[in-house]
Protein backbone atom coordinates (compact mmCIF):
# COMPACT_ATOMS: atom_id res chain seq x y z
CA UNK A 1 0.00 0.00 0.00
CA UNK A 2 1.20 3.50 -0.78
CA UNK A 3 1.44 5.91 2.14
CA UNK A 4 1.69 9.68 1.67
CA UNK A 5 3.49 11.72 4.26
CA UNK A 6 2.72 15.38 3.61
CA UNK A 7 4.21 16.76 6.84
CA UNK A 8 7.10 18.25 4.82
CA UNK A 9 4.81 20.80 3.17
CA UNK A 10 3.50 22.40 6.37
CA UNK A 11 6.41 24.77 6.88
CA UNK A 12 5.14 26.41 3.67
CA UNK A 13 1.38 26.13 3.75
CA UNK A 14 -1.12 25.74 6.58
CA UNK A 15 -2.95 22.50 7.30
CA UNK A 16 -6.22 24.44 6.83
CA UNK A 17 -5.29 25.43 3.28
CA UNK A 18 -4.65 21.78 2.45
CA UNK A 19 -7.53 20.11 4.24
CA UNK A 20 -10.02 22.71 3.01
CA UNK A 21 -9.60 20.94 -0.31
CA UNK A 22 -11.07 17.71 1.02
CA UNK A 23 -14.50 18.74 -0.31
CA UNK A 24 -12.99 19.05 -3.77
CA UNK A 25 -11.21 15.72 -3.35
CA UNK A 26 -14.47 14.11 -2.32
CA UNK A 27 -16.27 15.50 -5.40
CA UNK A 28 -13.43 14.39 -7.65
CA UNK A 29 -13.53 10.90 -6.10
CA UNK A 30 -17.24 10.66 -6.86
CA UNK A 31 -16.67 11.82 -10.46
CA UNK A 32 -14.04 9.10 -10.95
CA UNK A 33 -16.19 6.35 -9.46
CA UNK A 34 -19.36 7.36 -11.29
CA UNK A 35 -17.61 8.12 -14.58
CA UNK A 36 -19.66 11.31 -14.78
CA UNK A 37 -16.79 13.82 -14.92
CA UNK A 38 -15.21 15.34 -18.03
CA UNK A 39 -13.82 12.50 -20.17
CA UNK A 40 -15.61 9.97 -17.94
CA UNK A 41 -15.98 7.63 -20.91
CA UNK A 42 -12.24 6.98 -20.44
CA UNK A 43 -12.41 6.23 -16.72
CA UNK A 44 -12.61 2.45 -17.28
CA UNK A 45 -9.23 2.00 -15.54
CA UNK A 46 -10.82 2.98 -12.19
CA UNK A 47 -12.52 -0.42 -11.79
CA UNK A 48 -10.03 -2.43 -13.83
CA UNK A 49 -8.29 -4.08 -10.85
CA UNK A 50 -11.51 -5.59 -9.57
CA UNK A 51 -12.71 -7.00 -12.88
CA UNK A 52 -9.79 -8.87 -14.35
CA UNK A 53 -10.87 -10.81 -17.42
CA UNK A 54 -9.33 -14.20 -16.61
CA UNK A 55 -9.74 -15.49 -20.18
CA UNK A 56 -7.79 -12.49 -21.51
CA UNK A 57 -5.19 -12.91 -18.77
CA UNK A 58 -4.60 -16.56 -19.71
CA UNK A 59 -4.29 -15.58 -23.39
CA UNK A 60 -1.67 -12.97 -22.44
CA UNK A 61 0.26 -15.57 -20.42
CA UNK A 62 0.09 -18.09 -23.26
CA UNK A 63 1.31 -15.51 -25.78
CA UNK A 64 4.14 -14.55 -23.41
CA UNK A 65 5.20 -18.22 -23.21
CA UNK A 66 5.11 -18.48 -27.00
CA UNK A 67 7.35 -15.44 -27.27
CA UNK A 68 9.76 -16.87 -24.70
CA UNK A 69 9.95 -20.22 -26.51
CA UNK A 70 10.37 -18.88 -30.02
CA UNK A 71 12.46 -15.79 -29.41
CA UNK A 72 15.57 -14.60 -27.66
CA UNK A 73 14.49 -10.99 -28.28
CA UNK A 74 11.19 -9.15 -28.04
CA UNK A 75 10.82 -5.86 -29.89
CA UNK A 76 8.19 -3.68 -28.20
CA UNK A 77 6.92 -1.07 -30.64
CA UNK A 78 4.89 1.77 -29.14
CA UNK A 79 5.08 5.34 -27.87
CA UNK A 80 3.85 7.21 -24.77
CA UNK A 81 1.32 5.18 -22.82
CA UNK A 82 1.85 2.30 -25.22
CA UNK A 83 5.37 1.54 -23.95
CA UNK A 84 6.36 3.56 -20.86
CA UNK A 85 4.47 1.37 -18.38
CA UNK A 86 6.03 -1.84 -19.68
CA UNK A 87 9.49 -0.32 -19.67
CA UNK A 88 8.92 1.04 -16.16
CA UNK A 89 7.95 -2.42 -14.87
CA UNK A 90 10.81 -4.22 -16.57
CA UNK A 91 13.41 -1.75 -15.25
CA UNK A 92 11.93 -1.57 -11.75
CA UNK A 93 11.25 -5.29 -11.26
CA UNK A 94 14.03 -6.94 -13.26
CA UNK A 95 16.67 -4.26 -13.63
CA UNK A 96 17.61 -1.36 -15.89
CA UNK A 97 20.18 -3.90 -17.12
CA UNK A 98 17.43 -6.49 -17.81
CA UNK A 99 19.06 -7.39 -21.10
CA UNK A 100 22.40 -8.14 -19.44
CA UNK A 101 21.23 -9.94 -16.33
CA UNK A 102 17.99 -11.78 -17.10
CA UNK A 103 19.03 -15.05 -18.67
CA UNK A 104 15.68 -16.90 -18.52
CA UNK A 105 13.66 -14.30 -20.46
CA UNK A 106 14.06 -12.64 -23.83
CA UNK A 107 16.05 -9.47 -24.29
CA UNK A 108 13.56 -6.62 -24.63
CA UNK A 109 14.23 -3.68 -26.93
CA UNK A 110 11.96 -0.73 -27.58
CA UNK A 111 11.26 0.91 -30.93
CA UNK A 112 8.68 3.26 -32.40
CA UNK A 113 9.05 5.80 -29.59
CA UNK A 114 10.92 8.34 -31.74
CA UNK A 115 11.56 9.10 -35.42
CA UNK A 116 15.34 8.86 -35.31
CA UNK A 117 16.70 6.87 -38.24
CA UNK A 118 19.94 6.06 -36.46
CA UNK A 119 18.08 4.70 -33.43
CA UNK A 120 15.81 2.55 -35.59
CA UNK A 121 18.78 1.27 -37.60
CA UNK A 122 20.55 0.23 -34.40
CA UNK A 123 17.49 -1.69 -33.24
CA UNK A 124 17.05 -3.37 -36.66
CA UNK A 125 20.74 -4.30 -36.79
CA UNK A 126 20.47 -5.73 -33.29
CA UNK A 127 17.40 -7.80 -34.16
CA UNK A 128 18.82 -8.95 -37.49
CA UNK A 129 21.02 -11.67 -35.95
CA UNK A 130 18.54 -12.69 -33.29
CA UNK A 131 15.40 -14.78 -33.16
CA UNK A 132 12.86 -12.11 -32.45
CA UNK A 133 9.15 -11.44 -32.06
CA UNK A 134 7.36 -8.10 -32.21
CA UNK A 135 4.65 -6.73 -29.96
CA UNK A 136 3.29 -3.68 -31.76
CA UNK A 137 1.12 -1.56 -29.48
CA UNK A 138 -1.02 1.39 -30.54
CA UNK A 139 -4.49 2.05 -29.24
CA UNK A 140 -5.41 4.38 -32.08
CA UNK A 141 -3.52 2.21 -34.53
CA UNK A 142 -2.58 5.31 -36.47
CA UNK A 143 0.32 6.86 -34.54
CA UNK A 144 3.17 7.67 -36.92
CA UNK A 145 6.19 6.69 -34.81
CA UNK A 146 5.16 3.08 -34.09
CA UNK A 147 3.64 2.67 -37.58
CA UNK A 148 6.97 3.65 -39.18
CA UNK A 149 9.00 1.30 -36.96
CA UNK A 150 6.50 -1.54 -37.50
CA UNK A 151 6.82 -1.29 -41.27
CA UNK A 152 10.61 -1.79 -40.98
CA UNK A 153 10.40 -4.66 -38.47
CA UNK A 154 7.62 -6.37 -40.43
CA UNK A 155 9.82 -6.32 -43.52
CA UNK A 156 12.72 -7.78 -41.53
CA UNK A 157 10.53 -10.52 -40.08
CA UNK A 158 9.25 -11.50 -43.53
CA UNK A 159 12.82 -11.50 -44.89
CA UNK A 160 13.96 -13.79 -42.04
CA UNK A 161 11.01 -16.09 -41.52
CA UNK A 162 8.78 -15.73 -44.62
CA UNK A 163 5.21 -14.37 -44.52
CA UNK A 164 3.81 -17.30 -42.49
CA UNK A 165 6.70 -17.29 -40.00
CA UNK A 166 6.40 -13.53 -39.59
CA UNK A 167 2.69 -13.86 -38.85
CA UNK A 168 3.47 -16.21 -35.94
CA UNK A 169 5.89 -13.69 -34.45
CA UNK A 170 3.74 -10.56 -34.54
CA UNK A 171 1.44 -9.70 -31.63
CA UNK A 172 -0.69 -6.60 -32.10
CA UNK A 173 -2.30 -4.71 -29.22
CA UNK A 174 -4.79 -2.16 -30.49
CA UNK A 175 -8.39 -0.98 -30.52
CA UNK A 176 -11.03 -3.71 -30.82
CA UNK A 177 -12.38 -2.41 -34.13
CA UNK A 178 -10.81 0.87 -35.28
CA UNK A 179 -7.54 2.02 -36.81
CA UNK A 180 -5.06 0.95 -39.45
CA UNK A 181 -3.30 -1.51 -37.14
CA UNK A 182 -6.53 -3.39 -36.37
CA UNK A 183 -7.29 -3.63 -40.09
CA UNK A 184 -3.79 -4.80 -40.88
CA UNK A 185 -3.71 -7.31 -38.01
CA UNK A 186 -7.08 -8.84 -38.90
CA UNK A 187 -6.13 -8.98 -42.56
CA UNK A 188 -2.78 -10.67 -41.90
CA UNK A 189 -4.03 -12.95 -39.10
CA UNK A 190 -1.74 -11.71 -36.31
CA UNK A 191 -2.65 -12.62 -32.75
CA UNK A 192 -4.31 -9.52 -31.32
CA UNK A 193 -5.14 -8.07 -27.92
CA UNK A 194 -7.74 -5.34 -27.53
CA UNK A 195 -7.16 -2.15 -25.56
CA UNK A 196 -10.46 -1.52 -23.75
CA UNK A 197 -12.35 1.36 -25.37
CA UNK A 198 -12.83 3.12 -22.05
CA UNK A 199 -9.12 3.21 -21.12
CA UNK A 200 -6.75 5.77 -22.64
CA UNK A 201 -3.06 5.16 -23.41
CA UNK A 202 -1.41 6.52 -20.26
CA UNK A 203 -3.86 4.67 -18.00
CA UNK A 204 -3.46 1.35 -19.84
CA UNK A 205 -0.43 -0.35 -18.27
CA UNK A 206 -2.61 -2.87 -16.40
CA UNK A 207 -4.23 -4.03 -19.67
CA UNK A 208 -2.58 -6.14 -22.40
CA UNK A 209 -0.73 -2.95 -23.41
CA UNK A 210 1.61 -3.38 -20.45
CA UNK A 211 0.91 -6.91 -19.32
CA UNK A 212 2.03 -8.82 -22.44
CA UNK A 213 5.55 -7.34 -22.69
CA UNK A 214 5.91 -7.43 -18.91
CA UNK A 215 4.95 -11.13 -18.78
CA UNK A 216 7.24 -11.91 -21.72
CA UNK A 217 10.07 -10.34 -19.71
CA UNK A 218 9.50 -13.01 -17.05
CA UNK A 219 7.59 -10.91 -14.51
CA UNK A 220 4.63 -12.28 -12.55
CA UNK A 221 1.73 -10.17 -13.83
CA UNK A 222 -0.79 -11.82 -11.51
CA UNK A 223 1.09 -10.35 -8.57
CA UNK A 224 1.06 -6.93 -10.25
CA UNK A 225 -2.72 -7.14 -10.61
CA UNK A 226 -3.02 -8.25 -6.99
CA UNK A 227 -1.07 -5.16 -5.87
CA UNK A 228 -3.37 -2.91 -7.91
CA UNK A 229 -6.45 -4.63 -6.46
CA UNK A 230 -5.25 -4.14 -2.88
CA UNK A 231 -4.44 -0.50 -3.60
CA UNK A 232 -7.89 0.05 -5.07
CA UNK A 233 -9.39 -1.34 -1.88
CA UNK A 234 -7.21 0.95 0.22
CA UNK A 235 -8.23 3.98 -1.85
CA UNK A 236 -11.95 3.29 -1.44
CA UNK A 237 -11.77 5.29 1.81
CA UNK A 238 -13.59 8.58 1.24
CA UNK A 239 -11.92 10.82 3.75
CA UNK A 240 -8.75 12.79 4.42
CA UNK A 241 -7.18 9.49 5.47
CA UNK A 242 -7.14 8.41 1.83
CA UNK A 243 -3.47 8.62 0.78
CA UNK A 244 -4.31 9.56 -2.82
CA UNK A 245 -6.53 12.39 -1.55
CA UNK A 246 -3.67 13.64 0.64
CA UNK A 247 -1.22 13.58 -2.27
CA UNK A 248 -3.69 15.27 -4.63
CA UNK A 249 -4.71 17.89 -2.04
CA UNK A 250 -1.07 18.67 -1.22
CA UNK A 251 -0.18 19.12 -4.90
CA UNK A 252 -3.23 21.29 -5.61
CA UNK A 253 -2.75 23.46 -2.52
CA UNK A 254 0.92 24.04 -3.37
CA UNK A 255 0.11 24.76 -7.01
CA UNK A 256 -2.46 27.34 -5.97
CA UNK A 257 0.10 28.89 -3.62
CA UNK A 258 2.43 29.51 -6.59
CA UNK A 259 4.49 26.34 -7.02
CA UNK A 260 4.86 25.46 -10.70
CA UNK A 261 7.06 22.36 -10.87
CA UNK A 262 6.79 19.01 -9.15
CA UNK A 263 9.97 16.97 -9.07
CA UNK A 264 9.61 13.24 -8.52
CA UNK A 265 12.71 12.01 -6.72
CA UNK A 266 13.86 8.49 -6.03
CA UNK A 267 17.05 7.01 -4.66
CA UNK A 268 16.80 3.80 -6.70
CA UNK A 269 18.11 3.99 -10.30
CA UNK A 270 15.69 1.27 -11.39
CA UNK A 271 12.88 3.79 -10.83
CA UNK A 272 13.97 5.92 -13.82
CA UNK A 273 11.32 4.70 -16.27
CA UNK A 274 8.65 4.67 -13.60
CA UNK A 275 9.35 8.40 -13.34
CA UNK A 276 9.10 8.72 -17.13
CA UNK A 277 5.73 6.96 -17.00
CA UNK A 278 4.63 9.27 -14.13
CA UNK A 279 5.67 12.37 -16.10
CA UNK A 280 3.47 11.36 -19.03
CA UNK A 281 0.60 10.49 -16.72
CA UNK A 282 0.55 13.82 -14.91
CA UNK A 283 1.85 16.01 -17.76
CA UNK A 284 -0.73 14.89 -20.33
CA UNK A 285 -3.53 14.69 -17.81
CA UNK A 286 -3.11 18.07 -16.11
CA UNK A 287 -1.15 20.29 -18.50
CA UNK A 288 -3.95 22.02 -20.35
CA UNK A 289 -5.95 25.26 -20.54
CA UNK A 290 -2.85 27.16 -19.39
CA UNK A 291 -2.75 25.19 -16.13
CA UNK A 292 -0.89 22.39 -14.39
CA UNK A 293 2.23 21.57 -12.41
CA UNK A 294 5.13 20.75 -14.72
CA UNK A 295 6.22 17.18 -13.86
CA UNK A 296 9.99 16.67 -13.71
CA UNK A 297 12.12 13.92 -12.22
CA UNK A 298 15.52 13.38 -10.66
CA UNK A 299 17.49 10.27 -9.85
CA UNK A 300 19.32 10.62 -6.55
CA UNK A 301 21.97 10.57 -5.36
CA UNK A 302 23.37 10.97 -8.91
CA UNK A 303 21.38 14.13 -9.60
CA UNK A 304 22.32 15.69 -6.27
CA UNK A 305 25.61 16.25 -8.06
CA UNK A 306 23.98 17.91 -11.06
CA UNK A 307 20.52 19.24 -10.19
CA UNK A 308 21.00 19.40 -6.41
CA UNK A 309 22.27 22.99 -6.47
CA UNK A 310 19.16 24.25 -8.27
CA UNK A 311 16.75 22.31 -6.09
CA UNK A 312 18.47 23.58 -2.95
CA UNK A 313 18.97 27.15 -3.97
CA UNK A 314 17.48 28.08 -7.36
CA UNK A 315 14.16 29.78 -8.09
CA UNK A 316 11.57 28.70 -5.52
CA UNK A 317 8.99 27.26 -7.92
CA UNK A 318 9.42 23.70 -6.84
CA UNK A 319 7.74 21.07 -4.79
CA UNK A 320 9.40 17.68 -4.45
CA UNK A 321 7.83 14.25 -4.09
CA UNK A 322 10.13 11.50 -2.82
CA UNK A 323 9.27 7.88 -3.55
CA UNK A 324 10.93 5.66 -0.97
CA UNK A 325 11.20 1.88 -0.81
CA UNK A 326 12.24 -0.48 1.96
CA UNK A 327 15.42 -1.99 0.68
CA UNK A 328 16.17 -5.69 0.86
CA UNK A 329 19.75 -5.07 -0.13
CA UNK A 330 22.09 -7.02 2.14
CA UNK A 331 25.34 -5.32 1.15
CA UNK A 332 27.32 -4.19 4.19
CA UNK A 333 30.33 -1.89 4.11
CA UNK A 334 33.51 -3.90 4.64
CA UNK A 335 36.14 -2.63 7.10
CA UNK A 336 39.62 -1.72 5.92
CA UNK A 337 42.59 -1.87 8.28
CA UNK A 338 44.34 1.11 6.72
CA UNK A 339 41.23 3.27 6.30
CA UNK A 340 42.98 5.36 3.64
CA UNK A 341 39.59 6.32 2.15
CA UNK A 342 38.36 7.41 5.59
CA UNK A 343 35.24 5.26 5.30
CA UNK A 344 35.66 3.11 8.39
CA UNK A 345 32.94 5.09 10.17
CA UNK A 346 30.57 3.22 7.84
CA UNK A 347 31.96 -0.26 8.51
CA UNK A 348 29.19 -2.77 9.03
CA UNK A 349 26.45 -0.37 7.90
CA UNK A 350 24.22 -1.66 5.11
CA UNK A 351 24.04 0.27 1.86
CA UNK A 352 20.30 0.57 2.32
CA UNK A 353 20.92 2.32 5.65
CA UNK A 354 23.35 4.70 4.01
CA UNK A 355 20.93 5.37 1.14
CA UNK A 356 18.11 5.99 3.62
CA UNK A 357 20.30 8.49 5.46
CA UNK A 358 20.95 10.25 2.14
CA UNK A 359 17.19 10.51 1.54
CA UNK A 360 16.52 11.90 5.02
CA UNK A 361 19.39 14.36 4.72
CA UNK A 362 18.25 15.52 1.28
CA UNK A 363 14.66 16.00 2.34
CA UNK A 364 15.74 17.96 5.41
CA UNK A 365 18.07 20.14 3.33
CA UNK A 366 15.50 20.85 0.64
CA UNK A 367 12.82 21.78 3.16
CA UNK A 368 15.33 24.15 4.75
CA UNK A 369 16.08 25.53 1.28
CA UNK A 370 12.39 26.34 0.70
CA UNK A 371 11.09 23.28 -1.13
CA UNK A 372 7.90 21.67 0.21
CA UNK A 373 8.40 17.91 0.30
CA UNK A 374 5.97 14.99 0.10
CA UNK A 375 7.10 11.40 0.70
CA UNK A 376 5.35 8.38 -0.77
CA UNK A 377 6.45 5.08 0.73
CA UNK A 378 5.50 1.66 -0.49
CA UNK A 379 7.49 -1.19 1.10
CA UNK A 380 9.94 -3.29 -0.86
CA UNK A 381 10.24 -3.13 -4.62
CA UNK A 382 8.26 -6.08 -5.95
CA UNK A 383 5.41 -6.88 -8.34
CA UNK A 384 2.69 -5.97 -5.85
CA UNK A 385 4.33 -2.67 -5.02
CA UNK A 386 4.52 -1.84 -8.72
CA UNK A 387 0.80 -2.59 -9.19
CA UNK A 388 -0.03 -0.52 -6.12
CA UNK A 389 2.06 2.44 -7.26
CA UNK A 390 0.52 2.40 -10.73
CA UNK A 391 -3.01 2.42 -9.37
CA UNK A 392 -2.16 4.99 -6.69
CA UNK A 393 -0.67 7.44 -9.21
CA UNK A 394 -3.50 6.94 -11.70
CA UNK A 395 -6.13 7.56 -9.03
CA UNK A 396 -4.30 10.56 -7.57
CA UNK A 397 -3.88 11.98 -11.08
CA UNK A 398 -7.57 11.60 -11.85
CA UNK A 399 -8.45 13.29 -8.54
CA UNK A 400 -5.97 16.09 -9.00
CA UNK A 401 -7.03 16.69 -12.61
CA UNK A 402 -10.68 17.10 -11.61
CA UNK A 403 -9.71 19.27 -8.65
CA UNK A 404 -7.74 21.46 -11.08
CA UNK A 405 -10.78 21.80 -13.34
CA UNK A 406 -9.45 19.92 -16.37
CA UNK A 407 -10.37 16.77 -18.24
CA UNK A 408 -7.60 14.38 -17.11
CA UNK A 409 -8.27 11.91 -19.91
CA UNK A 410 -7.71 13.84 -23.14
CA UNK A 411 -4.57 15.28 -24.75
CA UNK A 412 -5.73 17.73 -27.44
CA UNK A 413 -2.43 19.64 -27.36
CA UNK A 414 -0.52 16.66 -28.77
CA UNK A 415 -2.23 17.11 -32.16
CA UNK A 416 -0.60 20.48 -32.89
CA UNK A 417 2.88 19.19 -33.80
CA UNK A 418 1.36 16.29 -35.72
CA UNK A 419 -0.62 18.61 -38.01
CA UNK A 420 2.53 20.63 -38.75
CA UNK A 421 4.63 17.54 -39.35
CA UNK A 422 2.05 15.99 -41.70
CA UNK A 423 1.81 19.28 -43.63
CA UNK A 424 5.61 19.49 -43.92
CA UNK A 425 5.82 15.86 -45.06
CA UNK A 426 2.97 16.23 -47.56
CA UNK A 427 0.51 13.77 -46.01
CA UNK A 428 -2.69 13.83 -48.09
CA UNK A 429 -5.33 16.03 -46.49
CA UNK A 430 -2.83 18.28 -44.64
Which residues are near ligand PA5 by CB under 6 A?
A: 79-82, 138-140, 143, 146, 200-202, 284, 411
Determine which one of 23, 121, 418, 427 is catalytic: 418
Determine which one of 24, 284, 299, 320 is catalytic: 284
Minimum CB–partner distance for residue 82 and ligand PA5 (Å): 4
If the CB atoms of residues 9 and 137 are measured against ligand PA5, the closer one turns out to be 137
Backbone angles phi and psi of 393, in degrees to 5: -65, -40
If the CB atoms of residues 140 and 352 are measured against ligand PA5, the closer one turns out to be 140
Active site residue 262: no
- Which spans in 35-179 are helix H? 54-70, 84-89, 98-101, 117-128, 144-168
The β-bridge relationship of strands 373-380 and 191-195 is unpaired
If the CB atoms of residues 135 and 143 are measured against ligand PA5, the closer one turns out to be 143
Minimum CB–partner distance for residue 304 and ligand PA5 (Å): 31
Minimum CB–partner distance for residue 149 and ligand PA5 (Å): 11
If the CB atoms of residues 98 and 139 are measured against ligand PA5, the closer one turns out to be 139
If the CB atoms of residues 83 and 247 are measured against ligand PA5, the closer one turns out to be 83
Minimum CB–partner distance for residue 53 and ligand PA5 (Å): 20
Which residues 6+ apart lie within 8 Å of 410 measured at CB? 39, 42, 200, 288
- Dihedral sign (CA 144, 149, 153, 158): positive
The β-bridge relationship of strands 3-5 and 73-77 is unpaired
From residue 272, how far is each of 166, 264, 265, 277, 372 by CA, in Å? 33, 10, 9, 9, 22
Active site residue 418: yes
Determine which one of 305, 328, 330, 415 is catalytic: 305
CB nearest ligand PA5: which residue?
Answer: 201
The end-to-end CA distance of the chain, in Å, is 48
Active site residue 368: no
Minimum CB–partner distance for residue 289 and ligand PA5 (Å): 17
What Rg do the C-alpha atoms of the chain give, in angstroms? 22
Residues involved in catalysis: 284, 305, 418
Amino acid sequence: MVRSDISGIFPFISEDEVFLLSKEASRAHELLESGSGAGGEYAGWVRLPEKTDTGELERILTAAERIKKSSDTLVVIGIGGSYLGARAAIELLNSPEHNLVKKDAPTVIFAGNNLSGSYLKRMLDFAYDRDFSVNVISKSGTTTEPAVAFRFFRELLVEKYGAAGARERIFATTDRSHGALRKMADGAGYETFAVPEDIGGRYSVLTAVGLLPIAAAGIDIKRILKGARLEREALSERSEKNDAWRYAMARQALYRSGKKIEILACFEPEFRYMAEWWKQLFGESEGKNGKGLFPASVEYTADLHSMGQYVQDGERLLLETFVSFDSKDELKMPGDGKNLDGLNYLTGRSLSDINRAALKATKEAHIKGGVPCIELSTGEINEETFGALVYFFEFACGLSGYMGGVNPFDQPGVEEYKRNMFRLLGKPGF
